[in-house]
Amino acid sequence: MKTFEKVFLILLVAFWCAIPGSGKSQTFTDYHGFKCLEFKFEGHDAKIVFPEKAEEQRHWIWRARFWGHEPQTEIALLNKGFHVVYVDAADYRGNGEAVGLWNRFYGYLIKNYQLNSKAVLEGMSRGGLYIYNWGSENTGKVACIYADAPVCDLRSWPGGKGKGKGAPEEWTEHLKAYNITEETVNQFRGMPIYNCVKLAQAHVPVLHVCGAADDVVPIEENTYVLEKNFKEAGGDIRVIVKEGIGHHPHSLKDPAPIVRFILTNTNPSLMDSPLPDEAMMDINFRSGMDNSRISFEKNKKGRVAFLGGSITYNAGWRTMVCDYLEKRFPGTSFEFINAGIPSMGSAPGAMRFSTDVLSKGQIDLLFMEAAVNDETNGMTPDHLLRGMEGIIYQGLKSNPFMDIVMMQFVDQGKMADYNNGIIPVVIEQHEKVAGYYSVNSINLAKEVNNRILNGEFTWRDDFRDLHPSPFGQELYFRTIKSLLENRWKGPLSAEPVAKILPAQTLDPYSYINGHYERLSNAKMGKGWKITKNWKPSDQAGTREGFVNLPVLETSLPGAVLKLNFNGKAIGVLVTSGPDAGILEFSIDGSDFKKADQFTEWSTGLHLPWLIVLDDELKDGGHQLTLRMLAEKNPKSTGTSCRIHQFAVN
């Protein structure tokens, strides 16, 4: 700090001591490296934090409650030259007395510190009552509002009249503070979900940051209701939702989106240069991709396969990639293989890879995704790694010149993990495989979550579902295209380069020899039969490719079949519908174990489902015994089993 600034502060201290209402007790403390003046205002604790150098327009942010909690936004603004102010009105609970105190404190600040006439209001939790109740009565004095998990409806918190926990003692105190009763609260309009309309009509910009799992101040009863009313009144409001986060922690680990919102509505010249779009992408570059480029560009032919679940099967990013390849390599004859099957993850992918992909001919470029189904299907970490390694190993063994792109698509569970500082297990396991085999990968789950936290779009309105909206499909494609453009820039290699498989696999039980065994290899006992063209007799849905085909089936409790096989793993690919029963199995005469075929989706759908019975067997010959039980899942309507394939590694 320069000498004249120190002298100025000393003079200010002397001046403050003579200001009416400022109180006699005034001290300077440290607030994250900034000077903080603490004093009494009309008997209430008050604070003003000074930047090293005030920005030209002397903007400021007014903290409503919980001084010092999650201060990252304030610290960032102090570094930009903002002041930070606070007056403790906790006893008033945001009511009319709090509004009156804030009116007088505002006048005091403007008069004595020459702050900007428009304040940035910051309200965390119950602080939402203060900023909206004061702001709605002083719309011309508000630059913008940043609300964080804010209380917007007293009935939700502290009333607990909906999904929230409520706070009985606070409910009593709030009713008293607002001079209302249990009987009159429904007619009361002096709370944010109603008075926000005044701010909307005055075109005051608003940002809310909330946790999707908040059970104290539920977003559905507070922010979403306010958002609806605000938009209907013509207002501009944005909501950043943190999946998997409850009422705490408030704010964002990186407050940049909040700071950017505030600066946009106060002093845009202070904003940092925006990051390039590519900086938000999470791409792991591990190897070149000139092998496929040589095929496409020089040899003028290419076979491209897409292996995955429903997000691959459905039109969207896959068709966009196909269009891009045809435009980027005009005159090239492409064969595109859509090997996406809804509900299928990496373990069934490894078992069906030779049948559904490799049997079509030499693959030049493989796109692989399984992270969504691997997580939702409840596979163990070992299954996740063994399935993915099986696919990559089989692919490179079949064609050492194959280029591979691994993708991890987003779902709300993965977003919740990232927001809680956890790397999703499925991504961790898949990335181990990608790293070991030098496969380029794209973490779209992390990218989508980061972009949502960055305020670029919302899950609810824009992305919508783990089966992405057209907006989400375009985002997936844009990042995939960025990877391809990066790998295919510069001079083309003269010759393709073979990829050498490692001497050992990551896991000795990985499904590197995964395949299907013929149904006819089974020795059927009484009650089992092969139905050549199976189709359901009920009204439940089906998956394409799993009807009007042979199945090995029974609905008779006690029905037994045996299968002799060679390998380290055995599983059954079944159609799991509303009547799916419980199997029990024994391998080489071991004790019987149960395998329930019924899934959370079986009630209304006959879906293909791989059940891995055992995948840590000694390599060699084994015998599987399957038996239908009379016992069934409480949600199932029967004791049926329909086997499409035996899966062996």
**pLDDT recorded at residue 378:** 84
* Residues whose CB is less than 8 angstroms from the CB of residue 473 and which lie 6 or more positions away in sequence, other chains included: 316, 317, 320
Closest CA to 292 of 338, 346, 329: 329
CATH architecture for segment(s) 21-267: 3-Layer(aba) Sandwich (3.40)
Amino acid letter for position 225:
V
Strands 283-284 and 440-443, by their bridges, are antiparallel
**pLDDT recorded at residue 275:** 84
Taking the chain, what is the end-to-end CA distance rounded to the nearest angstrom? Answer: 71
Q: What letters, b where the CB count within 10 A reaches 16 and e where it falls short, cover 527-554?
A: bbeeeeebebeeebebbeebeeebbbbb
For residues 133 and 97, what is the distance between their CA atoms, to the nearest angstrom?
A: 11
Q: 189 pLDDT exceeds 60?
A: yes
For residues 281 and 230, what is the distance between their CA atoms, to the nearest angstrom?
A: 33
Q: 18 pLDDT exceeds 70?
A: no
For residues 484 and 487, what is the distance between their CA atoms, to the nearest angstrom?
A: 5
Q: How do the domains of the chain map onto residue ranges?
A: 21-267, 279-487, 515-648
> pLDDT tens digits for 448-495?
999 999 999 999 999 999 999 999 999 999 999 999 999 999 999 999
Domains 21-267 and 515-648 share a fold: no
> pLDDT tens digits for 249-290?
999 999 999 999 999 999 999 999 988 899 999 999 999 999
DSSP string, 111-139: HHH---SSEEEEEETTHHHHHHHHHHH-G
Q: 20 pLDDT exceeds 80?
A: no
Per-residue confidence band for 37, with pLDDT thresholds at 50, 70 and 90: very high
Closest CA to 514 of 647, 372, 606: 647
H/E element holding 327? helix 317-328
Q: What is the mean pLDDT of the chain?
A: 95
Q: 19 pLDDT exceeds 60?
A: no
Long-range contacts, stretch 492-496, CB < 8 angstroms, 24+ apart: 492/290, 492/293, 492/294, 492/297, 492/298, 493/288, 493/290, 493/293, 493/294, 495/294, 496/290, 496/291, 496/294, 496/295, 496/401
Helix, strand, coil abundance in the chain, percent, nearest 5 = 35, 25, 40
The CATH superfamily of 515-648 is Galactose-binding domain-like (2.60.120.260)
User: 279-487 belongs to which CATH class?
Assistant: alpha beta
> pLDDT tens digits for 201-210?
999 999 999 9
For residues 258 and 226, what is the distance between their CA atoms, to the nearest angstrom?
A: 19
User: Angle at the Cα of 300 (from 296 to 301), degrees rounded to 5?
Assistant: 75
For residues 475 and 242, what is the distance between their CA atoms, to the nearest angstrom?
A: 20
**Averaged pLDDT, 611-638:** 97
For residues 649 and 616, what is the distance between their CA atoms, to the nearest angstrom?
A: 10
Hey, CA dihedral for 372, 374, 375, 377, is it positive or negative? positive
Q: CA dist 91 to 47, 128, 496, Å?
A: 17, 15, 74
**pLDDT recorded at residue 5:** 44
> pLDDT tens digits for 333-351?
999 999 999 999 999 999 9
> pLDDT tens digits for 510-542?
999 999 999 999 999 999 999 999 999 899 999
The predicted model scores a pTM of 0.92
Cis peptide before 249 (omega within 30 of 0): yes
| Range list of H helices, 114-247 | 127-137, 168-177, 192-201, 223-232
> pLDDT tens digits for 350-376?
999 999 999 999 999 999 999 999 988
Q: What letters, b where the CB count within 10 A reaches 16 and e where it falls short, cover 393-419?
A: bbbbebbebbbbbbbbbbbbbbbbbbb
Detail the DSSP E strand segments found in 413-457. Answer: 440-443
Closest CA to 453 of 229, 212, 257: 257
CA atoms within 13 A on the CB side of 578: 11
Closest CA to 616 of 566, 569, 648: 569
Hey, CA dihedral for 211, 377, 598, 606, is it positive or negative? positive
> pLDDT tens digits for 53-105?
999 999 999 999 999 999 999 999 999 999 999 999 999 999 999 999 999 99
Closest CA to 94 of 122, 48, 150, 132: 132
* Residue pair 595/582 in contact by the 8 Å Cβ criterion: yes
Q: How many CB atoms lie within 10 A of CB 323?
A: 11
For residues 429 and 346, what is the distance between their CA atoms, to the nearest angstrom?
A: 11
For residues 48 and 19, what is the distance between their CA atoms, to the nearest angstrom?
A: 15
**pLDDT-above-90 percentage for the chain:** 94
Secondary structure letter of residue 604 according to DSSP:
G
